[in-house]
């Protein structure tokens, strides 16, 4: 049922409708912005809080991580020392443990027949070491302790097809963990039958 | 629901209400009327009203409304009340600037109807027009099965634009430019909401046009302009009799006819002088009124009406409408609506019948009317 007439020109009605719609959408837009800002504010505060907590935890955990790394390193070193000690004990009793021989031959066999060991010599030499007990004492005469130690070394002679194979062999020997140092003492080129090969000498200190 | 009924309730009732209600702007020939209403438990109340006489202004040039004059007048009126800026508004133009006609048209599509109406109106007005229409009640129309009888209400495009522009310039967002019959119907419904099932008759005794509208279920059933019965005619007759300008005659009537003013001797002397003029004028009004009442009585099956609600200038003077009551043997009751406490003074109460259509416009903010 009609309750009124409307004789207003269409332009006014359209303008009025546009104004109303603009106001409505403006309100929606402002509300949306408000919600976004509110959400950002609330969320940002949370993120900042979490970042602070993480940094605090990192700070608290850092010494533990360092300690863990040091422990791992110490454990590895201990294991290596134990291996070397076993090998040394075996060598002192002129009884090279099978484990060491196995490791050396394993390292040599990884080179796919391009490397051959020709000799395997164990030698030992006595060394004198000095320990300075009071390094800061300028006025006092430093107490010195002279310790006599036996250094064992394994000298390997062999031949290989090229330098790279020798380097790879040295790396493998280092990785066994039995030796304190693995050093290439000498290398030379030699004609064997119709082939040029490398003759090497490696010294592994225990 | 909870939000509406509890949390936002204080806001809705006090703070948001002024933003939601509309202003009613009645642009008459002699006065501008601005009203704001409120509804409290089905009872309507006028909460703000402003009135400005524009008789001496060049607001109207013949039938054309001046945008600049209207803007100026509205602006001054708006400044008298607070909180009227940036509000929605509904307006009404004087019936004298409108055209009301019944047209019988072949039953076709709505678009074709409107084209025919537009062409005919433009031919008569010789300028662009804006119109609205509604169908007449079958019992009063001459329509057959092939013809539709329509009541067409129109304004010139320039006048409608002037209203929209002026209201816009003073910061009002005009949403509706209504027609008088519907405004009268709502005004009666606001004043007497429980009369929906009765035949109500609204007599707008305006300065430039006197019109009568019969209401069925609070909607216009039949409207007729009572030719030569406008209140201005009475003022003209008085002016001739007393040899005074119309505005002075109006002022004289306003002060002299007040019930509480003047001595008995003065009243009787004035009455003796005015009586012949009143009688002559009432003869005209009675003739037109009775003719219309008889027409509707004879041509419709409307239940008999018990009274006529009077609005406009004529409703301000009992010395004018009371004799008419006796002549037509029907009660003439001035339109009234309660006033808000801060307005409730005798001066405002006396003017209330002028504000019927404006109040009905302001009530358009309530969804019930839209």
ipTM of the complex: 0.83
Residue B368 has a CB neighbour count (10 Å cut-off) of 10
**Rounded CA separation B32/B358 (Å):** 10
Q: A7 contacts in B (CB within 8 Å)?
A: 93, 130-132, 153-155, 160, 177-179
User: What is the reported pLDDT for B62?
Assistant: 83
Cα–Cα nearest to B360, from B94, B211, B182, B234: B182
Contact yes or no for B287/B295 (Cβ under 8 A): no
**Rounded CA separation A68/A46 (Å):** 32
Per-residue confidence band for B200, with pLDDT thresholds at 50, 70 and 90: very high
How many A-B residue pairs are in contact by the CB < 8 A criterion? 67
Q: B93 contacts in A (CB within 8 Å)?
A: 7
Q: Which residues of chain A have pLDDT under 70?
A: 1, 88, 90-101, 126-150
Beta bridge partners of B150: B103, B135
Question: Which of residues 36 through 95 in chain B touch A, CB cutoff 8 A?
Answer: 90, 93
**Rounded CA separation B35/B22 (Å):** 9
Q: Which two tokens stand for residue A205?
A: 């200190």
CA distance B367 to chain A (A): 11
Establish how many alpha carbons lie within 13 A of residue A193's alpha carbon, considering only the half-sphere containing its beta carbon.
1
The alpha carbon dihedral of B205, B209, B212, B213 has a sign of negative
Contact A4 B173 (CB under 8 A): no
CA distance A8 to chain B (A): 5
CA distance B161 to chain A (A): 6
**Rounded CA separation B161/B170 (Å):** 14
Q: Tens digits of per-residue pLDDT, B202-254?
A: 999 999 999 999 999 999 989 999 999 999 999 999 999 889 888 888 888 88
The percent of residues above 70 in pLDDT, for chain B, comes to 90
Contact B160 A9 (CB under 8 A): yes
Q: Tens digits of per-residue pLDDT, A8-33?
A: 998 888 887 888 789 889 999 999 99
Contact B178 A2 (CB under 8 A): no
Helix %, strand %, coil % of chain A (to 5): 55, 30, 20
**Rounded CA separation A143/A158 (Å):** 46
User: What is the reported pLDDT for A45?
Assistant: 82
Q: Tens digits of per-residue pLDDT, B37-57?
A: 998 877 899 999 999 887 667
Cα–Cα nearest to A154, from A132, A170, A130, A143: A170
Contact A4 B160 (CB under 8 A): no
Q: B182 contacts in A (CB within 8 Å)?
A: 2-5
Please, what is the Cα angle at A127 between A125 and A130, to 5 degrees? 170
User: What is the reported pLDDT for B56?
Assistant: 66
Nearest chain A residue to B161, by CA: A9
Instruction: Write the CA distances from B121 to B131, B141, B153, integer angstroms.
Output: 9, 20, 10
Outline where A9-97 has alpha helix (H): 10-92
A6 touches chain B (CB under 8 A): yes
Cross-chain CB nearest to B160 (options A1, A7, A19)? A7
Nearest chain B residue to A14, by CA: B175
Q: A4 contacts in B (CB within 8 Å)?
A: 90, 176, 178-179, 182-183, 186, 364, 369-370
Exposed, middle or buried, B252 (CB in 10 Å: 0-12/13-18/19+)?
Answer: middle
**Rounded CA separation B13/B19 (Å):** 11
Cross-chain CB nearest to A3 (options B161, B163, B370)? B370
Q: B175 contacts in A (CB within 8 Å)?
A: 8, 13, 16
User: What is the reported pLDDT for B124?
Assistant: 92
A24 touches chain B (CB under 8 A): no
Contact A16 B174 (CB under 8 A): yes
What letters, b where the CB count within 10 A reaches 16 and e where it falls short, cover B70-91?
bbbbbeebbeeeeebeebbbbb
Q: B22 contacts in A (CB within 8 Å)?
A: none
A1 touches chain B (CB under 8 A): yes
Instruction: Write the CA distances from A147 to A26, A117, A118, A126, B108, integer angstroms.
Output: 91, 35, 35, 10, 128
Measured in Å, how far apart are chain A's first and last C-alpha atoms? 111
Cross-chain CB nearest to B134 (options A2, A9, A16)? A2
Select the more confidently predicted residue: A134 or B90: B90
A23 touches chain B (CB under 8 A): no
Q: Tens digits of per-residue pLDDT, B132-165?
A: 999 887 777 665 667 888 899 999 999 999 999 9
Contact B164 A1 (CB under 8 A): no
Q: Tens digits of per-residue pLDDT, B261-287?
A: 567 777 777 778 888 999 999 999 999
CA distance B315 to chain A (A): 24
**Rounded CA separation B167/B23 (Å):** 11
Q: Tens digits of per-residue pLDDT, B294-307?
A: 999 988 888 889 99
B131 touches chain A (CB under 8 A): yes
Contact yes or no for B74/B32 (Cβ under 8 A): yes
**Rounded CA separation B51/B352 (Å):** 10
Residue bearing tokens 């390997």: A156
B216 touches chain A (CB under 8 A): no
Average pLDDT, whole number, for chain B?
87
Taking the CA atoms of residue B124, residue B129, residue B131 and residue B136 in that order, the dihedral angle to the nearest 10 degrees is: 0
What is the DSSP code (8-state) at residue A4? -
Per-residue confidence band for B104, with pLDDT thresholds at 50, 70 and 90: confident
Contact B173 A8 (CB under 8 A): no
User: What is the reported pLDDT for A118?
Assistant: 85
- Give yes or no for residue B258 having a pLDDT over 90: no
Contacts of A99 (CB under 8 A, 6+ apart): A83, A86, A87, A178
A19 touches chain B (CB under 8 A): yes
Nearest chain A residue to B217, by CA: A1
What's the full length of chain B, in residues? 370
Q: B183 contacts in A (CB within 8 Å)?
A: 4
Instruction: State mean pLDDT over B116-120.
Output: 93
Contact A5 B370 (CB under 8 A): no
User: What is the reported pLDDT for A42?
Assistant: 84
What is the DSSP code (8-state) at residue A93? T
């Amino acid at each position: 049922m009609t309750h009124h007439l409307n004789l207003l020109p269409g332009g006014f009605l359209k303008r009025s409708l546009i104004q109303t719609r603009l106001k409505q959408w403006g309100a929606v837009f402002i509300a949306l912005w408000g919600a976004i800002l509110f959400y950002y504010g609330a969320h940002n505060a949370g993120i900042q809080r979490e970042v602070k907590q993480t940094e605090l935890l990192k700070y608290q955990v850092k010494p533990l991580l360092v300690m863990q790394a040091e422990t791992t390193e110490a454990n590895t070193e201990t294991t290596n020392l134990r291996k070397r000690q076993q090998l040394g004990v075996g060598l002192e009793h002129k009884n090279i443990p099978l484990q060491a021989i196995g490791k050396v031959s394993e390292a040599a066999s990884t080179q796919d027949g391009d490397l051959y060991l020709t000799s395997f010599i164990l030698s030992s030499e006595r060394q004198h070491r000095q320990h300075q007990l009071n390094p800061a004492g300028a006025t006092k005469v430093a107490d010195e302790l002279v310790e006599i130690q036996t250094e064992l070394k394994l000298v390997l002679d062999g031949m290989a097809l090229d330098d790279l194979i020798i380097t790879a062999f040295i790396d493998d020997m280092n990785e066994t963990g039995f030796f304190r140092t693995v050093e290439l003492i000498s290398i030379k080129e030699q004609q064997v039958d119709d082939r040029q090969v490398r003759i090497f000498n490696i010294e592994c200190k225990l | 629901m909870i939000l509406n009924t509890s949390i936002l309730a204080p806001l809705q009732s006090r703070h948001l209400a002024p933003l939601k209600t509309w202003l009613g702007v009645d642009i008459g020939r002699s006065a501008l009327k601005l009203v704001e209403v409120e509804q409290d438990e089905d009872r309507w109340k006028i909460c703000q009203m402003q009135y400005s006489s524009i008789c001496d202004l060049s607001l109207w040039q013949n039938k054309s409304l001046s945008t600049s004059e209207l803007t100026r007048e509205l602006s001054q009126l708006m400044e008298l009340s607070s909180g009227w800026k940036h509000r929605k508004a509904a307006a009404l133009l004087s019936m004298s600037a409108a055209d009301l006609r019944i047209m019988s048209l072949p039953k076709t599509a709505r678009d074709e109807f409107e084209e025919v109406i537009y062409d005919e109106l433009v031919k008569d007005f010789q300028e662009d027009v804006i119109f609205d229409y509604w169908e007449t009640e079958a019992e009063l129309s001459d329509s057959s099965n092939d013809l539709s009888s329509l009541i067409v209400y129109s304004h010139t495009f320039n006048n409608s634009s002037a209203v929209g522009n002026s209201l816009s310039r003073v910061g009002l967002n005009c949403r509706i430019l209504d027609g008088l019959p519907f405004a009268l119907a709502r005004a009666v419904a606001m004043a007497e909401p429980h009369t929906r099932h009765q035949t109500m008759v609204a007599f707008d005794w305006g300065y430039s046009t006197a019109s009568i509208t019969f209401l069925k279920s609070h909607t216009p059933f039949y409207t007729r302009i009572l030719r030569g019965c406008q209140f201005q005619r009475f003022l003209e007759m008085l002016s001739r009799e007393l040899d005074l300008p119309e505005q002075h005659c109006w002022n004289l009537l306003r002060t002299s006819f007040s019930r509480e003013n003047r001595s008995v001797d003065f009243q009787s002397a004035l009455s003796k002088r005015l009586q012949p003029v009143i009688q002559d004028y009432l003869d005209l009004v009675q003739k037109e009124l009775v003719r219309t009442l008889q027409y509707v009585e004879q041509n419709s099956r409307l239940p008999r009406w018990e009274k006529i609600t009077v609005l406009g200038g004529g409703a301000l003077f009992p010395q004018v409408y009371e004799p008419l009551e006796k002549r037509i043997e029907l009660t003439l009751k001035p339109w009234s609506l309660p006033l808000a406490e801060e307005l409730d003074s005798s001066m405002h109460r006396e003017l209330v019948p002028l504000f019927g259509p404006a109040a009905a416009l302001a009530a358009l903010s309530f969804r019930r009317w839209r």
